Structure 1
Amino acid sequence: MIPRLFRPGINAALLGMRVLFVLAVSPVVSAQDAHQPAQAADEKAFLAENDTAMTRMMNDMAAKPSGDIDRDFVAMMTPHHQGAIDMAVIELRYGKNEQLRRIAQEIIVDQMQEIAAMKLAIGEQVTASAPAPTQANPAVATQDHMNMSHDMKMPETK
């Protein structure tokens, strides 16, 4: 007697479904594999730049207390906001989602305005700004943007 679990009709149908699934998935996987090297390189660059931005932000937020709470607040919040700007620039370099790219652009504008407002509130001078760079080459970016992190500022002219 053949157990009910091994009926020829069901086993053949299951085997057929498995073969169809493998055949249907195979071209999709192959197409994704063709894009993997470029995606992997972008992901690696994105993560490296983001890590650099986060490390710089955390280091710069460790401001030495000055005895003036308001100045200390601005000294800690400025690199925090700058970190958001730097991360938004990185999203613009590598991100593909148009909604997130628009949000990143808004973050840049909003955070720059908040940095300027905080500096003005404590009597510091605010420098003019230019559009944020989105090039992967920081050497080119420094020519286009004057108000990015300390290592991306243009030299002052006299």
Structure 2
Amino acid sequence: MPSRFLPRLSAVVVAALLLGVAGAWAAGPADEAPFLAENDAAMTRMMADMTVKPTGDVDADFAAMMIPHHQGAIDMAQAELRYGKNEQLRRIAQEIIVEQQQEIAAMRLALGQPLPPSAAAPDQIAPSAGPAAGHSMPMTMPMEH
């Protein structure tokens, strides 16, 4: 092959590689699809549940909007725990779950609302089973909006 074609061939190869990398980057890893779907569902549910009809009670309306907001953060953190690999982010997600559940409980108690029964989060072993028995587990709080 004459040497005058090498620069042109190299440019074509580089362009093809860049297009391939860009296409793969834009598409994202196939294993990210379940995370993205779950996260999108959590965001959609959160936004719908935050849309409340005003009651005339600022405190009740605030809690009615903030509880779904906090539940959305819990749902997204649970998706990180299911699909994420970064241990630092997984620890942060666990902290988010605990903190947001505590804030939901505090808002419900401030309004005199009952707390739902404790339950294991979907990604955890129930408190009565396995070596985790006796350790407190974050509870999943269903929203009533």
TM normalised by structure 1 equals 0.62
The count of corresponding residues between Structure 1 and Structure 2 is: 114
Identity across aligned pairs (percent)? 69
2:47 matched residue in structure 1 = 58
How far residue 106 of structure 1 moved from its aligned partner, in angstroms, is: 0.6
Is 1:147 the counterpart of 2:140 in the alignment? yes
Judging by fraction of residues, say which structure has more helix. Answer: 1
Query: Cα RMSD between the aligned structures?
Result: 3.0
How far residue 128 of structure 1 moved from its aligned partner, in angstroms, is: 2.7
Give CA deviations for 1:95-125 in whole Å, capped at 9, x if unaligned.
0000110110010000000000001001111
Identify which of structures 1 and 2 has the higher relative contact order when contacts are C-alpha pairs closer than 8 Å and 6+ apart. 2
Cα separation, 1, equivalents of 2:88 and 2:139: 26
How far residue 146 of structure 1 moved from its aligned partner, in angstroms, is: 6.2
Contact 2:52 2:64 in 1 (8 A): yes
TM normalised by structure 2 equals 0.67
1:70 matched residue in structure 2 = 59
> What amino acid sits opposite 1:88 in the alignment?
A
Cα separation, 1, equivalents of 2:122 and 2:69: 19
- Higher Cα Rg: structure 1 or 2? 1
Give CA deviations for 1:68-93 in whole Å, capped at 9, x if unaligned.
00000000000000000000000000
Contact 1:92 1:104 in 2 (8 A): yes
Contact 1:84 1:107 in 2 (8 A): yes
How far residue 149 of structure 1 moved from its aligned partner, in angstroms, is: 4.0
